[in-house]
Chains A and B, each alone.
Chain A
Amino acid sequence: MAALRKAGFLWRRTGSLKFCRRNLTGTYDYDLVVIGGGSGGLACSKEAAQLGQKVAVLDYVEPSVKGTKWGLGGTCVNVGCIPKKLMHQAALLGTALQDARKYGWKISGEVSHDWCQMAESVQNHVRSLNWGHRVQLQDKKVKYLNLKGRLVDEHTVKGQSRTGKETVLTAKNVVIATGGRPKYPAHVPGAVEHGITSDDLFWLKQSPGKTLVVGASYVALECAGFLTGLGLDTTVMVCSVALRGFDQQMSGLVTDYMESHGTEFVWKCVPERVERLTSGVLRVTWTDSQTGREHKDTYDSVLWAVGRAPETTALGLDQLGVKVNQETGKIIVGADESTSVPNIYAFGDIGESRPELTPTAIKAGKLLARRLAGQSQQLMDYDNVPTTVFTPLEYGCVGLSEEEAERRLGKDGVEVYHAFYRPLEFTVAERDASQCYIKVVCERGGDQKILGLHFTGPNAGEVTQGFAMAVQCGGTYPHLLQTVGIHPTCAEEVVKVNITKRSGLEPTVTGC
């Protein structure tokens, strides 16, 4: 036994003796094995391969409860950002068709939407992205394995195929980027059996019909938003607040707009059970937590958007001692994406307190690959990450919410400039601009550094992106004032904000 130990083989006491698969020269099969082929995993593995590392990526999609599954690329490509934005666009085009009439277009008769045609086009685009990723991996010499990965020890990963066949890989470093999946409210009878989640919505071959969306996260609001825009009877059931974690004033503007544009909201209500009636429709019973009264209604579909759970249960993390946040289930990570076990890293949605966004996962993955290849020491900067909620009235933001800024600096330490504005395009179209609003949260006094910037309006993502760079560069309120606006745009109103909340003056922009 002692002699073998001297030869450098690792023995592990796990009830049975296991060999760590190293060949006699002590090398591993791979420099890096990445578990998870989503936004983060793909970026990390491709970057590592380009830096000369021998890399394998394992991607596997456990079918949803309803049986939905998809190809390579992770949540963003298959059941997130991409299909979401395309369906949001489909809905916006519906609204544009209505506006068009006011601009002189003669559109005869009733305009209707064909879910099947839209779904097929969206699904075909997603499939072309799956293929594109496959080609990229092959081209960049990353070994791709359609296997469900599990950690055996800090250098060994076991991959299981759909048929149960196992493959063992050894690696110098292992990266976990398995992301998350939608949660079901399992305590609600009928929830799992009769409801769907975002995993299913984008792959439905038939229209979801009259839909109840339970939840008030951006997933819930974005989905409810485009369903409404496509002409479907849509209700959102919120148990407490909408867009938790986002600036709550802005969240109110988003939901106000949705409520006045066809989405039904049921506030402070909790679902009790879901039953399927003989006609096939779903009957949902819920309780109004304020009155205590019970209500019922029927829907064709119930979409659960009540949060996402990290994909960590089947990874074998506790056996290895990889520390996980007991409440969230997410992996506890350091600033360098390290876990409690050396040479095992985790990033993307799976990381505790990390933003659940594609661009941060991609960037963090690339930087991690560079550090592991010894090419860099640069860490990922998770501050001032811009994002946009693609609800019917879009909301873009970068930096701190007003509440967070006040929490950090006190109400006296913060100056908030704001303005309600009206997009020019809304005028002829006779559209309601009551919730189109801009808020710039600054340090009061000193340099008046911009701490947070918030915008509701059309093309919010496009508007916010450029300002994110300003915030990244430490932009100040004087910088904003020095910037000349582009006219006529909505974005120019950002550089023109001059009324403070403190002044109490009416923050409505007057036209030019």
Chain B
Amino acid sequence: MSQFEEVNVHGYEEFCQAIAERKGKDIFVYFSGNKDAEGKSWCPDCVKAEPVVRGEMSNLPDGSVFIYCQVGERTYWKNPNNDFKKNLKLTGVPTLMRYGTPQKLVEEECLKGNLVKMMFTED
């Protein structure tokens, strides 16, 4: 069983804080639309992709960090100038990214377990 740290954050500031506190680590971030009181996200693809991504988490490298980041409500996300779009160049949710590298999977790509596994296991 691999040893990794799971962190939950809400919004851009908390995300930046979590990153700043973990300099030098191999950080994977899963960006999802906010979940409501029942734990369901407004983003249907995020709902579908989450179990796929969670299913591959045993493949995360030892010592790595997995940040589950809820980006905000639907209206916040739809704004093309939101912090995630502006600063991280995110184009859609869900996005799974390996922070500081060009490795990312966007939207339908997150639904493919083999692609998620590839990101977690390859250099």
Report chain A residues within 8 Å CB of B103: 131
Q: Is the CB of A134 within 8 A of B118?
A: yes
Q: Answer whether residue A448 sits at the interface, using C-beta atoms and an 8 A cutoff.
A: no
Q: Are B118 and A138 in contact (CB under 8 A)?
A: yes
Chain A residues with a Cβ under 8 A of chain B: 124, 127-128, 130-131, 134-135, 138-139
- Minimum CB–CB distance from A61 to chain B (whole Å) comes to 14
Q: Cβ of B109: which chain A residues have Cβ within 8 Å of it?
A: 135, 139
Of the candidates B101, B105, B114, B122, the one whose C-beta lies within 8 Å of that of A127 is: B101
Q: Counting CB contacts under 8 A, is B102 at the interface?
A: yes
- Chain B stretch 81-120: residues in CB contact (< 8 A) with chain A: 101-105, 109, 112, 114-115, 118
Q: How far is the CA of A131 from the CA of B115 in the complex (A)?
A: 11
User: Within the assembled complex, what's the spacing in Å between the Cα atoms of A217 and B37?
Assistant: 65
Main secondary structure of the interface of A (DSSP, over half): helix
- Chief secondary structure at chain B's binding surface: mixed
Nearest A residue to B102 via CB reads A128
Min CB–CB distance A110 → chain B (angstroms)? 30
Cα-based distance from A130 to B122 in the complex (angstroms): 13
Q: Which 3 A-B pairs have the closest CB atoms?
A: A128-B102, A127-B102, A131-B102
A–B complex contacts, Cβ < 8 Å, 22 sampled: A124-B102, A127-B101, A127-B102, A128-B102, A130-B102, A131-B101, A131-B102, A131-B103, A131-B104, A134-B118, A134-B122, A135-B105, A135-B109, A135-B115, A135-B118, A138-B114, A138-B115, A138-B118, A139-B109, A139-B112, A139-B114, A139-B115
Nearest CB of chain A from residue B90's CB, rounded to whole Å: 14
CB-defined contacts of A131 to chain B, threshold 8 Å: 101-104
A139 to B117, CA, bound (A): 12
Hey, which chain A residues are within 8 Å of B101, CB to CB? 127, 131
Nearest chain A CB to B11 CB, angstrom units: 26
Cβ contacts under 8 Å, A135 to chain B: 105, 109, 115, 118
Contacting residues, chain B, for A127 (C-beta < 8 A)? 101-102
Task: Name the residue of chain B whose CB is nearest to the CB of A130.
Answer: B102
Cα distance, A135 to B115, chains bound together (Å): 7
- Bound-state Cα–Cα, A134 to B105, Å: 11
Nearest chain A residue, comparing its CB with the CB of B104? A131
CA distance A135 to B96 in the complex (A): 13
